[in-house]
């Protein structure tokens, strides 16, 4: 068996320890004689799994009691609709568009009400985060929406927007659990787990209780109502049971690693290795405004498409997988999520130095 360094933006690298533990428990989960995949989601064993997962996540993020934690399906993209359907009481919401995911969320919201694009960084191919300290927040906005870490472009909000009292809704798919957060600053925090937490198929929604009501847009399907899932502790129907079990293991792994502050320090250290190299390299350079750089997704280019392709190919042959940039932007992107070991980044930089010497 040999594992490569996987720089995929998602589905992405998971901690090896977690995978090993899951493998050990595959045929017989703790004396139940079955795998978690084969288990009733109403069983005692599974009840413990999902309750512990929630408790560990609450502890990690210090989630206050007036927030619900929901484990849902449909990916982050389903939330693009679920959010307006449940939250647009006045039929108005403000969107800050800092990349493709925020843009998709905005476009989806336009189907359900008056979505206002109050800021955007599209003028410079989403390479920065706009100043959000004094935006024209709509008087009757039900919420203000951001994508906190832009997976494709590699930017991150270092400071949350001033929403002037409106609830903030944030897609944190690609920065989930990468650093401490103050949950009280948000109305809704949500993310697909396949970037930084677990297998695709689970989306976690952390939502302030007062935002969960029966008053949803007419025609909202039962399955897309936050209230039904909140009232049933994410067990209204069969949840993505195995995925939640893996997420639970990752929560325990993060706790063992020292929690979110330790993750942040580790992530800063990893990202610094790569960004420092990009800043001094004569061949490679980063594509994002420095102060807005993501700790998780690091896009870079050589400025020459052919050379980019050569780099991706040679990197792959050397055991560095999935370094090709998103199809919409080209170049390269190294996603260095929580589970990417520091050696992975160090070795990548060594390889980049060697490539630079050979190709400059
Ligand atoms: C990957 C990603 C999505 C889409 O997630 P799906 O689970 O595939 O729907 C949405 N937002 C962000 C920030 C992402 O990185």
Residue 46 belongs to some domain of the structure: yes
Residue 293 belongs to some domain of the structure: yes
Domain hosting residue 306, numbered range: 259-359
Beta strands in 193-229 (DSSP E): 203-208
Q: CB of 175 closer than 6 A to ligand 1? A: no
Residue closest by Cα to atom 8 of ligand 1: 75
- At 348, which CATH number? 3.90.1150.10
Best residue for ligand 1 mutational test, from 192, 193, 201 (most atoms within 8 Å of Cβ): 192
Give the Cβ contact number of residue 192 at 10 Å: 28
Spatial distance between the Cα atoms of 184 and 339, rounded to a whole number of angstroms? 27
Which residues are within 8 A (CB) of 36 and not within 5 positions of it... i.e. 6 or more apart? 25, 29, 45, 46, 49, 241, 242, 245
Two tokens, residue 283: 């061949």
Ligand 1 centroid to 45 CA: how many Å? 30
131 labelled catalytic = no
Residue 6 belongs to some domain of the structure: no
Residue closest by Cα to atom 12 of ligand 1: 173
Judgement on whether residues 343 and 269 belong to the same structural domain of the protein: yes
Give the Cβ contact number of residue 311 at 10 Å: 26
Judgement on whether residues 264 and 251 belong to the same structural domain of the protein: no
In total, how many domains does the chain have?
Answer: 2
253 labelled catalytic = no
* Cβ 192 vs Cβ 203: under 8 Å: yes
Ligand 1 centroid to 357 CA: how many Å? 36
Q: Which of 56, 94, 142, 171 is catalytic?
A: 171
Judgement on whether residues 62 and 206 belong to the same structural domain of the protein: yes
Judgement on whether residues 209 and 249 belong to the same structural domain of the protein: yes
292 labelled catalytic = no
Q: What is the pLDDT along the chain (360 residues), one digit of tens a residue?
A: 789 999 999 999 999 999 999 999 999 999 999 999 999 999 999 999 999 999 999 999 999 999 999 999 999 999 999 999 999 999 999 999 999 999 999 999 999 999 999 999 999 999 999 999 999 999 999 999 999 999 999 999 999 999 999 999 999 999 999 999 999 999 999 999 999 999 999 999 999 999 999 999 999 999 999 999 999 999 999 999 999 999 999 999 999 999 999 999 999 999 999 999 999 999 999 999 999 999 999 999 999 999 999 999 999 999 999 999 998 788 999 999 999 999 999 999 999 999 999 998
At which residue do the structure tokens 């490679």 appear? 284
DSSP structure string for 240-270:
-HHHHHHHHHHHHHHHHHTHHHHHHHHHHHH
Judgement on whether residues 134 and 239 belong to the same structural domain of the protein: yes
* Cβ 243 vs Cβ 198: under 8 Å: yes
Using CA atoms of 99, 310, 196, 3 in order, give the dihedral in degrees to the nearest 10.
170
Ligand 1 atom at shortest distance from the alpha carbon of 172? 13
Judgement on whether residues 205 and 62 belong to the same structural domain of the protein: yes
Judgement on whether residues 207 and 326 belong to the same structural domain of the protein: no
Residue 185 belongs to some domain of the structure: yes
Length of the chain: 360
């Amino acid at each position: 068996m040999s594992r490569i360094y996987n720089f995929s933006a998602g589905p992405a690298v998971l901690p090896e320890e977690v995978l090993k533990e899951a493998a050990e428990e595959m045929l017989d989960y703790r004396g139940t004689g079955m795998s978690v995949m084969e288990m009733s989601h109403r069983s005692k064993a599974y009840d413990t799994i999902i309750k512990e997962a929630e408790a560990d996540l609450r502890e990690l993020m210090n989630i206050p009691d007036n927030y619900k934690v929901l484990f849902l399906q449909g990916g982050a993209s389903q939330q693009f609709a679920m959010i307006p359907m449940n939250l647009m009481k006045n039929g108005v919401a403000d969107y800050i568009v800092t990349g493709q995911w925020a843009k998709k969320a905005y476009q989806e919201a336009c189907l359900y009400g008056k979505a206002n694009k109050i800021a955007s960084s599209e003028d410079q191919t989403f390479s920065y985060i706009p100043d959000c300290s004094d935006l024209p927040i709509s008087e009757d906005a039900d919420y203000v929406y951001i994508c906190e870490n832009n997976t494709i472009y590699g930017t991150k909000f270092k400071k949350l927007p001033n929403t002037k009292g409106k609830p903030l809704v944030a897609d944190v798919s690609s920065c989930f659990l990468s650093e401490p957060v103050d949950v009280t600053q948000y109305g809704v925090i949500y993310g697909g787990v396949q970037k930084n937490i677990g297998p695709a198929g689970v989306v976690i929604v952390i939502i302030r209780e007062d935002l969960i009501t029966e008053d949803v847009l007419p025609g909202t399907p039962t399955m897309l109502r936050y209230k039904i899932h909140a009232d049933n502790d994410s067990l209204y129907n069969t949840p993505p049971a195995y995925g939640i079990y893996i997420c639970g293991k990752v929560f325990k792994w993060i706790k063992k690693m020292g929690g979110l502050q330790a993750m942040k320090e580790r992530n800063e250290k990893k990202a610094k290795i790569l960004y420092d190299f990009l800043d001094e390299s004569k061949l490679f350079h980063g594509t994002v405004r420095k102060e807005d750089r993501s700790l998780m997704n690091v896009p870079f280019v050589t400025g020459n498409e052919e050379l980019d392709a050569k780099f991706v190919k040679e990197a792959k042959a050397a055991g560095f997988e999935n370094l090709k940039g998103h199809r919409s932007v080209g170049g390269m992107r190294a996603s260095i999520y929580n589970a990417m070991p520091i050696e992975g980044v160090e070795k990548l930089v060594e390889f980049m130095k060697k490539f630079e010497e050979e190709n400059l």
